[in-house]
């Protein structure tokens, strides 16, 4: 393993040096980015198959330049020259064949299909790296019932965090054969990423604070733009898909002057719409909303304060950011069809046959050279050569995730969708208000989340905290699913 860079599981750092660097970065005001440009739709990845039932394309990861600030070129990493990467749209029942070309000099990469039910050897996990300069084909089928809003990102061992914040992430929509949401609502993807720019337009290196808390940027972008503008007629409804593709930013979101209805989670539609005042979208989570723009004027998507636990100085100001501004014109929209009261059935799982407990802890210790930290699951840091859990394909399991650490940790499992059944806080057990398919769930500090999960396909799967720096520092394990 020592041939791979950037993968010390327990970094040891000189405090004085890095604390100084952090404070220097904070004292400097972040560059101003233009706001109020028309919202760009994510460009679609063209299907080269030429026949229905197959989605075939090529994705190349390579260095590129972006222009966030007038007159400054920022070196980034991009898929097919763009960040976020192109939007992939395929249908339930389709076969997908995507050739991945890794053109990042000197670095391994992969494409991981976050949340999608793809075979373990097609899932771009860290055991399956694509060398710099190499190509590989990812091939899988999209089963019936898998319609939802997913995303793709690199997952190479020790390098995922950096490749993602440098620009590699894209959205992947699986469309339903029969979709109950009225077509008149449209379908707009909003992909959130997080950018930190130094004065000269470069992206600063990761600091000690970033490693501890996860790297949070200075600007939250939507489809690569800061606070873009969308124009809607009054009375219009819009279907929005929100993706948190940031490394570590918790987005507690509210819409001023517009009513939000939650219709979908990570793995697709809910059973029925749920009115929502606000939404907490932790790193890697997605939601689908229908937003009603009934009042002419300005409707803004803004962030509220959320304390997810922060170590050391430099807690970012997360309240009061305007992420998107919707200009609602006085001209009334055509009459919108109503949102159906039932969206689709979600079958609850049967009685689990096995239960497992995963405990998150953080360790911070001083040694001769500085501070040493660990982000652990059941007292262990990730080891690619170790199987942590052996499970059987098709068996229903109860997983209890206990967060005994000082920060929230969004828990993610590869290869399937699960259902959260209970949340325990201060000894009180609560049930979620509705059933939902999830692949990522925030486990708040001191909280225990119980979920029911079933892996249908055999192979080794990762589970980890989706603060990518924590994943890199060890908060990850392997479940080996046997046939
Ligand atoms: Cu989105 Cu293992 O990750
Ligand atoms: Cu994943
Ligand atoms: Cu974490």
pLDDT at 314: 87
Q: Considering every ligand atom shown, identify the ligand nearest to the alpha carbon of residue 285 and give its number.
A: 1
Q: Is the domain defined by 345-482 classed in CATH 2.60.40.420?
A: yes
Ligand 1 binding site (Cβ under 6 Å of any ligand atom): 112, 114, 153, 155, 284, 412, 414, 462, 464, 466
Quick: pLDDT tens for 237-248: 999 999 999 999
Residue 256 pLDDT > 50, yes or no? Answer: yes
* 271 vs 174: CA distance, rounded Å: 18
Residue 284 CA, closest ligand 1 atom number: 1
pLDDT digits (tens, 9 = 90+) for 389-400: 999 999 999 999
Residues of the chain with pLDDT > 70, as a percent, come to 94
Backbone φ and ψ for 129, nearest 5 degrees, come out as -75, 155
Spacing, Cα 124 to ligand 2 middle (Å): 9
**In contact, 445 and 410? CB cutoff 8 Å:** no
Confidence band for 222, pLDDT divided at 50, 70 and 90? very high
475 Cα: distance to centroid of ligand 3 (angstroms)? 7
Residue 356 predicted with pLDDT over 80: yes
Query: What does residue 163 show for φ and ψ, rounded to 5 degrees?
Result: -65, -35
Q: Is the pLDDT of residue 190 over 70?
A: yes
- Pick the ligand that lies closest to the CA of residue 464: 1
pLDDT for the residue numbered 308: 97
Is domain 18-175 given the CATH code 2.60.40.420 in the classification? yes
CA 114 / ligand 1 centre spacing (Å): 5
CA–centroid distance, residue 466 to ligand 2 (Å):
8
The Cα–Cα gap between 43 and 248 comes to 25
Residue owning the nearest CA to atom 1 of ligand 1: 114
Q: Which atom of ligand 1 is nearest to the CA of 155?
A: 2
CA 115 to ligand 2 center in whole angstroms: 5
Question: Vertex 31, ends 28 and 32: CA angle to 5°?
Answer: 135
| CA of 282, nearest ligand number | 3
476 CA: nearest ligand 1 atom: 2
Cα 422 to ligand 1 centroid, rounded to whole Å: 23
Residue among 282, 465, 283, 248 nearest 362 (CA)? 465
Mean pLDDT, residues 302-327: 94
pLDDT at residue number 333: 80
Phi, psi of 147 (to 5 degrees): -55, 135
The arithmetic mean of pLDDT across residues 435-453, rounded, is 98
User: Ligand 1 centre from 155 Cα, in Å?
Assistant: 7
Q: Cα separation of 233 and 323, whole Å? A: 20
Domain over 183-332 is classified CATH 3.40.920.10: no
Query: What is the reported pLDDT for 15?
Result: 40
- For 40, 47, 158, the CA distances from 441, given in Å and listed in that order, are 29, 32, 22
Report the percent of the chain where pLDDT is more than 90: 87
Using only C-alpha atoms, the chain has a radius of gyration, in whole angstroms, of: 22
Domain ranges of the chain: 18-175, 183-332, 345-482
Residue 124 has pLDDT above 60, yes or no: yes
What atom of ligand 1 comes closest to residue 114's alpha carbon? 1
What is the structure's pLDDT at 165? Answer: 98
263 Cα: distance to centroid of ligand 1 (angstroms): 23
Q: Which two tokens stand for residue 184?
A: 């008149």
152 is written with which tokens? Answer: 């793709």
* Mean per-residue pLDDT of the chain: 93
Provide the CA 268 distance to its chain's centre, in angstroms. Answer: 15
Structural contact between residues 479 and 221, judged by C-beta atoms closer than 8 angstroms: no
Reported as a single tens digit per residue, the pLDDT across 17-70 is: 333 344 444 445 667 899 999 999 999 999 999 999 999 999 999 999 999 999
Band (365; pLDDT cuts 50, 70, 90): confident
CA distance 114 to 88: 13
Rounded distance between C-alpha atoms, residue 257 and residue 266, angstroms? 26
pLDDT range class, residue 317, cuts 50, 70, 90: confident
Using the predicted structure, report yes or no on whether residue 146 has a pLDDT greater than 60: yes
pLDDT given at position 8: 41
Closest CA to 281 of 293, 266, 291: 266
Ligand 1: nearest atom to the Cα of 464: 2
Q: What pLDDT is stored for residue 217 in this prediction?
A: 95
pLDDT at 28: 57
Least-confidence region, from 72-86, 192-206, 359-373: 359-373
Contact call for residues 148 and 115 (beta carbons, < 8 A): yes
Q: Minimum-distance ligand to the CA of 465?
A: 3
Which atom of ligand 1 is found nearest the CA of 115?
Answer: 1
Q: Is the predicted pLDDT of residue 107 greater than 60, yes or no?
A: yes
Reduced to 3 states (helix: H, G, I; strand: E, B; else coil), residue 431 is coil
Among protein residues, the one with the nearest Cα to ligand 1's atom 3 is 114
Q: Is the pLDDT of residue 74 over 90?
A: yes
- 367 band by pLDDT with thresholds 50, 70 and 90: confident
- Ion ligand 2, residues whose Cβ is below 5 A away: 114, 414
pLDDT value at 371 more than 90: no
In this chain, the answer to whether the domains covering 183-332 and 345-482 adopt an identical fold is: yes
The pLDDT of residue 52: 93
DSSP 129-174: -B-TT-EEEEEEE--TT--EEEEEE---TTTHHHHHHTT--EEEEE
């Amino acid at each position: 393993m020592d041939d791979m860079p950037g993968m010390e599981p327990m970094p040891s750092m000189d405090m004085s040096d890095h604390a100084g660097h952090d404070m220097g970065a904070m004292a400097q005001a972040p560059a101003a980015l233009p706001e109020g440009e028309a919202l760009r739709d994510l460009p679609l990845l063209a299907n080269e198959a030429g026949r229905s039932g197959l989605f075939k394309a090529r994705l190349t990861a390579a260095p590129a330049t972006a222009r966030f600030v007038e007159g400054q070129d920022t070196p980034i990493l991009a898929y097919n020259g763009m960040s976020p990467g192109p939007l992939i749209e395929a249908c339930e029942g389709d076969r997908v064949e995507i050739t991945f070309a890794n053109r990042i000099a000197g670095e391994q990469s992969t494409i991981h299909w976050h949340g999608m039910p793809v075979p373990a050897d097609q899932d771009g996990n860290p055991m399956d790296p694509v060398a710099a300069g190499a190509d590989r084909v990812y091939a899988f089928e999209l089963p019936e019932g898998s319609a939802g809003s997913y995303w793709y990102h690199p997952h190479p061992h020790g390098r995922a965090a950096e490749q993602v914040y440098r620009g590699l992430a894209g959205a992947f929509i699986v469309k339903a054969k029969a979709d109950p949401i009225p077509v008149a609502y449209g379908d707009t993807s909003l992909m959130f990423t997080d950018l930190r720019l130094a004065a000269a337009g470069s992206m600063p290196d990761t600091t000690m604070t970033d490693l501890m808390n996860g790297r949070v940027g200075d600007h939250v972008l939507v489809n690569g733009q800061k606070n873009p503008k969308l124009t809607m007629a009054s009375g219009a409804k819009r279907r929005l898909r929100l993706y948190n593709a940031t490394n570590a930013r918790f987005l507690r979101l509210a819409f001023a002057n517009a009513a939000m209805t939650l219709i979908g989670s990570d793995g697709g539609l809910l059973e029925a719409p749920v009115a929502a005042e606000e939404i907490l979208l932790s790193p890697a989570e997605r939601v689908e909303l229908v937003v009603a723009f009934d009042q002419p004027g300005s409707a803004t998507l803004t962030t509220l304060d959320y304390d997810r636990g922060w170590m050391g100085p430099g807690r970012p100001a997360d309240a009061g950011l305007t992420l998107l501004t919707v200009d609602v014109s006085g001209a009334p929209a055509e009459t919108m069809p109503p949102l159906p009261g039932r969206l689709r059935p979600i079958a609850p799982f049967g009685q689990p046959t096995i239960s497992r407990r995963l405990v998150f802890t953080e360790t911070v210790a001083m040694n001769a050279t500085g501070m040493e930290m660990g982000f652990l699951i059941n007292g262990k840091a990730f080891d690619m050569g170790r199987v942590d859990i052996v499970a059987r394909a098709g068996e229903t399991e109860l997983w209890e995730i206990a967060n005994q650490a000082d920060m929230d940790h969004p828990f993610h499992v590869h290869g399937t969708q699960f259902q959260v059944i209970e949340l325990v806080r201060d000894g009180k057990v609560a049930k979620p208000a509705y059933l939902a398919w999830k692949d990522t769930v925030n486990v708040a500090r001191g909280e225990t989340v119980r979920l029911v999960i079933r892996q249908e396909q055999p192979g080794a799967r990762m589970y980890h905290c989706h603060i990518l720096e924590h994943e890199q520092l060890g908060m990850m394990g392997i479940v080996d699913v046997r046939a």
